[in-house]
């Protein structure tokens, strides 16, 4: 109703007002803000009215869009390139390189929650600039030493470990900063663009392997440009909350994630998808040439583009659970992968579920950014990253166990392509992907309430 909409805008501190009286009030506030800026020593930051009229604009949207896309591109290219150059140039064994990558993964698990706390303690805009510059400096030094032939194992190992941690910190800072820099209605386009760029970066990997020396320099230049883009945004941010200690702040973020009904539903859904979806692609292989190998590269951009187009017609949260319900049942088509039309059943059973989970991931991230208080965005994001990472570990363990069992079975029966024991796992995984929509469906009325405010602490 119009009345409730206006009351919501009043509570949100928005300068939008309806009616002549509201317009006059806004003009008066604008005049007061201009006078405050014009006075000697006056500035917009010291005047409450001036802060109210500073709203995200098209300029900040484009800067955020470009910066986020470039950041994802630069950070995505870096880790694989570093490992490849490390193997080619440094006198290290594959085991030592694997240990360095494992150390980066372990540190990612151990540091994700402290990084989330740090993101909530500092201003996110400068944090994005610092992480981009740190990544650019690391990669530039790597490129220079490689070009001069001065590669040293300690330097390379440090870069292999440091860059993924910077990537993690940059992702958390960007997700926490976007609600301040971009209007809520434009969060989906920015998040969708970042996902599309990350997927399209896979297409650059063959070039990375052919000319590995130049890619660190290119990634460093991209990250340096991102630092300039983030620096140019300059929107005001809410002041950081008073510090209560690392442990207390970490517990607060985790508790809020599990206590809030919508965030809890999002956490359950993304964990189920992260744990089950990788199993389907590893356990089922069709006969013949597979179009799903290139369809897989198109599934993620297709899902992101779909939510970009539909976001104005369908509520963002509704897009999430509807996309899961409509696309995940197609995973059951993988059961037909060894039939006459198995190649195409496999393509549909791979493409549509992946596109659906991508659409759900983009919309759930955008909705989480809207309903979470600004001071908790870093910690809730870190909690979800930790849960998704642990789900990935469980999925990898099941995958390794399946490969081991399949190796034993193939020794006894060389003609076997899909082991018998895999079919129950495939069916259960497909059913679990469909069930991932149920937690979201149960909280749909709460999540789809008009003009959802950042939720208070439970």
Return the pLDDT at 68: 84
Q: Of 457, 449, 456, give the one whose Cα is nearest residue 4.
A: 449
Tokens encoding 159: 């870069």
pLDDT in tens, 148-176: 777 666 777 777 778 888 888 999 999 99
Return the pLDDT at 93: 57
Better-scored residue on pLDDT, 266 or 402 = 266
Burial 153-183, CB ≥16 within 10 A → b, else e = eebbbebbbbbbbbbbbbbbbbbbbbbbbbe
> How many angstroms separate the first and last alpha carbons of the chain?
27
Answer for the pair 167, 42: CB distance below 8 angstroms, yes or no.
no
Tokens encoding 332: 């059951």
Q: How far is CA 389 from CA 37, 112, 396, 425, in A?
A: 48, 10, 10, 21
Fold of 56-233: Growth Hormone; Chain: A; (1.20.1250)
Tokens encoding 17: 């007002």
How far apart CA 147 and CA 264 sit, in angstroms, is: 49
Burial 87-101, CB ≥16 within 10 A → b, else e = eebbebeeeebeebb
Q: Of 388, 358, 9, give the one whose Cα is nearest residue 172.
A: 388
pLDDT in tens, 192-226: 988 888 877 777 666 655 666 677 788 888 889 98
What is the average pLDDT across 271-282? 85
Average pLDDT score over the chain:
76
Return the pLDDT at 79: 64
How far apart CA 320 and CA 360 sit, in angstroms, is: 4
Q: What is the DSSP string of 29-90?
A: HHHHHHHHHHSTT--GGG-HHHHHH----HHHHHHHHHHHHHHHHHHHHHHHHHHHHHHHHS
Q: Is the pLDDT of residue 18 over 70?
A: no
Return the pLDDT at 60: 83
- Per domain, the residue ranges of the chain are 2-52, 56-233, 246-447
What is the average pLDDT across 319-344? 84
Return the pLDDT at 71: 82
pLDDT in tens, 49-69: 333 334 556 788 888 888 888
What is the average pLDDT across 261-270? 94
Q: Is the pLDDT of residue 3 over 60?
A: no
pTM above 0.85, yes or no: no
Q: Of 124, 199, 230, 201, give the one whose Cα is nearest residue 169.
A: 124
Fold of 246-447: Growth Hormone; Chain: A; (1.20.1250)
pLDDT in tens, 92-104: 556 666 676 777 7
Give yes or no on whether 56-233 and 246-447 have one common fold.
yes
Q: What percent of the chain has pLDDT over 70?
A: 68
Query: pLDDT category, 435, cuts 50, 70, 90?
Result: very high
């Amino acid at each position: 109703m119009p009345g409730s909409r206006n009351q919501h805008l009043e509570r949100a501190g928005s300068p939008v007002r309806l009616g002549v009286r509201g317009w006059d009030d806004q003009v008066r506030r604008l005049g007061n803000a201009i006078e405050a800026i014009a006075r000697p020593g006056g500035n917009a930051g010291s005047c409450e009215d001036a802060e109210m009229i500073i709203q995200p604009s098209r300029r900040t949207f484009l800067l955020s869009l470009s910066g986020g896309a470039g950041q994802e591109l630069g950070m995505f290219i870096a880790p694989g390139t570093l490992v490849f150059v490390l193997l080619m140039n440094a006198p290290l064994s594959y085991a030592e390189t694997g240990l360095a990558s494992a150390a980066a993964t372990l540190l990612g698990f151990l540091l994700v929650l402290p990084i989330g706390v740090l993101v909530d303690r500092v201003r996110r805009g400068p944090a994005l600039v610092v992480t981009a510059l740190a990544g650019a400096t690391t990669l530039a030094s790597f490129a220079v030493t490689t070009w001069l032939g001065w590669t040293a194992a300690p330097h390379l190992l440090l870069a292999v470990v440091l860059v993924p941690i910077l990537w993690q910190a940059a992702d958390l800072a960007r997700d926490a900063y976007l609600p301040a820099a971009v209007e809520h209605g434009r969060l989906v386009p920015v998040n969708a663009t970042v996902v599309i760029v990350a997927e399209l970066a896979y297409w650059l990997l063959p070039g990375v392997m052919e000319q590995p020396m130049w890619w660190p320099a290119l990634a460093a230049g991209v990250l340096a440009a991102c630092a300039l883009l983030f620096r140019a945004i300059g929107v005001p941010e809410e002041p950081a909350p008073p510090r209560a200690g690392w442990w207390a702040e970490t517990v607060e973020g985790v508790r809020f994630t599990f206590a809030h009904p919508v965030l809890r539903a999002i956490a359950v859904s993304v964990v189920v998808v992260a744990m089950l979806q990788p199993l389907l692609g590893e356990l089922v292989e069709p006969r013949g040439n597979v179009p799903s190998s290139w369809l897989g590269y198109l599934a993620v951009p297709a899902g992101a583009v779909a939510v970009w187009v539909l976001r104005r017609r369908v509520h963002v949260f509704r897009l999430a659970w509807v996309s899961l319900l409509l696309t995940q049942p197609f995973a059951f088509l993988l059961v037909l992968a060894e039939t006459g039309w198995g190649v195409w059943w496999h393509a549909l059973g791979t493409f549509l579920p992946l596109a659906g989970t991508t659409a759900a991931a983009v919309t759930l991230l955008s909705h989480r950014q809207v309903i979470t208080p600004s001071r908790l965005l870093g910690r809730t994001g870190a909690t979800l990253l930790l849960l998704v990472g642990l789900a990935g570990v469980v999925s990898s363990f099941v995958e390794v166990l399946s490969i081991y069992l399949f190796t034993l079975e193939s020794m006894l029966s060389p003609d076997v392509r899909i082991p018998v024991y895999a079919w129950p796992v495939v069916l259960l995984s497909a059913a679990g992907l469909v069930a991932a929509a149920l937690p979201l469906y149960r909280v749909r009325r709460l999540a789809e309430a008009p003009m959802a405010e950042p939720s208070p602490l439970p």
